[in-house]
Structure 1
Amino acid sequence: MALQTCRDSLALVLLPGLFITTMPPKRALWSENDLVAAVQAVQCGRLSTYKAAERYKVPRRTIRNHLQTASLKKSLGRKPLLNDEQEAELVSRIMGFAAIGLPVTPLILRRLVFKFCEKNNIKHPFNQQAKVAGKDWFKNFMKRHPDISRRKAQFMNPARAQKLNKFIVDDHFQRLNDVYDKLDLKTHPEKIYNMDEKGCRLTIHHQRTTSKMKKTGKAESTKENRESWYCHACKQDQETAMRMCYKCSKWYHEECVCLSEEDDDDFECPDCS
């Protein structure tokens, strides 16, 4: 570590590219309230830009720029790549994915931002070969939105296992109950799939279903089950292979709708097609 004495300050040179100085700042010594008061005084005609700059200690060029842009927000340096509305929507989507157990990794986020800029013709300094947003953009994005935290996925260790208390478990089931209410799953339980056995793919395309059901001889059945399992085409309850429509959840015999066991695509009944 080397010491470097400046005329008015003491600076420490730690590493190449890292320079720490004790010199007091010379820029943006004014507050946002001073800027608002200066701009309003000029707009009302009470003060000129020279007088407003002298009274509120805001540079005259700064007042003039904010008068032209009609912005009263204090900011230094270049503007962010995405505007406030776009970043707010991005934050909302990140939190939404995290709430359902699909956290967004930094690399995925950088790739999505690059694709978004390319699709919407937003000028950016990102690497065209790597096709990802820069690390500096990601770092500044995290600084602008401190409500987003970074966590490393890991197996549960004893310290985390001790935190699995009643409060955390109750909070989990409360969140799960909110999902049930939001998606109306309590009245439509047929929309719930077992991800381990169904093999659903997390894509935007239609997922294959395995909602075929072969009824066996004397299985436990109630009157409600028999009424919901009967074929809506022939109105009979035969013990043959049946298929459920993924839209209306009605059951049909495969022979009534000309299907076979090899047909694994989503089944759509004649009433819904």
Structure 2
Amino acid sequence: MPRKRDRITEKCQWSLDALDHAIKRVNDDGISLHKASQEFNIPYSTLQKRYRKPEQSNPRLGRKPVFSLAQERILADHLIHMTNLFFGLDSMKFRKIAYECAEKLKIPHNFNKKSKCAGPDWLEGFLKRNTNISVRKPESTSINRIEGFNKEEVELFYKNLEEIMMKNKYEPHQIFHMDETGVSTIQEPG
């Protein structure tokens, strides 16, 4: 997780509610920006900036993310796509991909140029912003499972299962789950 740093600045001590109330007072009651800034304890320059450009009313402190939201969405979709192809990426490989993307797109970044990968703090921030994904060590997957897991094979399996169940009229206590053992056809990722 990105390190929790102690606050060393007095910036942005006001809340968004206070900012909204101050702007309403200026608009509705006609008080000056100076009076509103003193009344709501918001710096004058901040109130002036947010009053003139209300679309920027959601302030952010700290570094800006390296990638835009659309670019991060593409990275997250790539990670999901690779997982669906049974080729999951661990955190180090994903951090290297992020570095390569930033280099190819010529995006300014502070990633490690020596190891050619994004930092662990970047990855933790990325995962916080994209909560629908997780990065972990991929598990081994059998080649047979990869090749056999497609729509046609699954439909055929359930069609055959239904025919056998109807033909033999099995009861629930007569059904067992069995698995092939002794033959290893498992592909190690990486």
**Superposition TM-score, scaled by structure 2 size:** 0.54
Once the 2 structures are TM-superposed, how far is the Cα of residue 132 of structure 1 from its aligned partner? 1.2
- Code of the residue aligned with 1:30 in structure 2: it is W
Classify 1:31/1:115 alpha carbon distance in 2 versus 1 (closer, same or farther; 3 Å). same
Pair 1:54 & 2:43 matched? no
Higher-Rg member (1/2): 1
* Aligned-residue offset at 1:54: 3.2
Please say if 1:110 is aligned against 2:76: no
- C-alpha distance in 2 between matches for 1:76 and 1:94: 28
Structure 2 CA distance for partners of 1:132 and 1:70, relative to 1, 3 Å:
same
Question: CA offsets, 1:130-161, max 9 Å, x none?
Answer: 211122211222222233224344579xxxxx
- Pairwise CA distance, 1:73: 1.9
Amino acid at match of 1:76: L
Q: 1:60 to 1:132 in 2, by over 3 A?
A: same
1:75 to 36, 60, 77: 60
Which residue of the other structure, out of 73, 76, 81, is the alignment partner of 1:88?
73
Aligned residue for 2:56, secondary structure, equals coil
Identity of aligned residues (%): 27
Q: Which one-letter code corresponds to 2:15 in the other structure?
A: S
Aligned to 1:102, what secondary structure does the other structure show? Answer: coil
Could you tell me how far 1:77 is from its partner in structure 2?
Answer: 1.0
In structure 2, runs of 5+ residues without a counterpart are 142-148, 155-184, 186-190
Higher helix fraction: Structure 1 or Structure 2? 2
Q: Structure 1 residues 30 and 154, CA, compared in 2 at 3 Å: closer, same or farther?
A: same
Say which structure is richer in strand: 1
Is the alpha carbon distance of 1:45 and 1:110 closer, same or farther for their aligned partners in structure 2, counting shifts above 3 Å? farther
Instruction: Count residues with an aligned counterpart.
Output: 143
Letter matched to residue 111 of structure 1? K
Q: 1:80 to 1:154 in 2, by over 3 A?
A: same
CA RMSD of aligned residues (A): 4.0
**For residues 130 and 19 of structure 1, do their structure 2 counterparts lie closer, same or farther at Cα, with a shift above 3 Å needed?**
closer
